Amino acid sequence: MVKKSPNPTDKHVGSRVRMRRMMLGMSQEKLGDALGLTFQQIQKYEKGTNRIGASRLQQISEVLQVPVSFFFEGGPNATTASGLADAPSPAYVSDFLATSDGLALTKSFMRIKDAKLRRRIVDLVEQIAGDEI
């Protein structure tokens, strides 16, 4: 039996659910309780293993306090109202922000008020990482 890989859109929507849940400091269990689901089902949604139906996505958007469109931002095959594709945001950015390290780093970095200090931190990280940008 061949294992079917998740649809890229389902993976993207799931990663956005995870990112928003983590931004709110909410556990999978707490989100599941709010939706009447198990944390295992939330895991499957977040990995894109199980698709999220329209009414369930509406419920999730209410619990996570974002519009439904939030879950599709920057996703595969994203188009504008005119039907032309925007320059896609690199997937690695949203993938990084969906991790606990990425979210913690972003939150902490944004709390630094001094713009010059933030720039110096970016310069430092770029030097450590090398010239692969």
76 plus 108 within the same structural domain: no
Q: Report the range out of 3-17, 20-34, 74-88 with the highest average pLDDT.
A: 20-34
- Pair (52, 111) in one structural domain: no
Say if residue 46 is in the same domain as residue 84. Answer: yes
| Number of domains making up the chain | 2
3-state class (DSSP) for residue 102: helix
Is position 1 within any domain? no
Q: Is the same domain home to 126 and 71?
A: no
In a domain, 67, yes or no: yes
Confidence of residue 80 (pLDDT cuts 50, 70, 90): very low
Does pTM surpass 0.75? no
How many other C-beta atoms are found inside a 10 Å radius of the C-beta of residue 96? 15
pLDDT score of 85 more than 90: no
112: helix, strand or coil:
coil
Helix spans in 8-131 (H)? 8-23, 28-35, 39-47, 54-63, 91-97, 100-110, 115-129
Domain assignment of residue 118, given as a range: 99-133
pLDDT tens-digit map of 43-72: 999 999 999 999 999 999 999 999 999 999
Q: Which sign does the torsion angle of CA 17, 22, 27, 31 carry? A: negative
Within 10 angstroms of residue 73's Cβ, the number of other Cβ atoms is 13
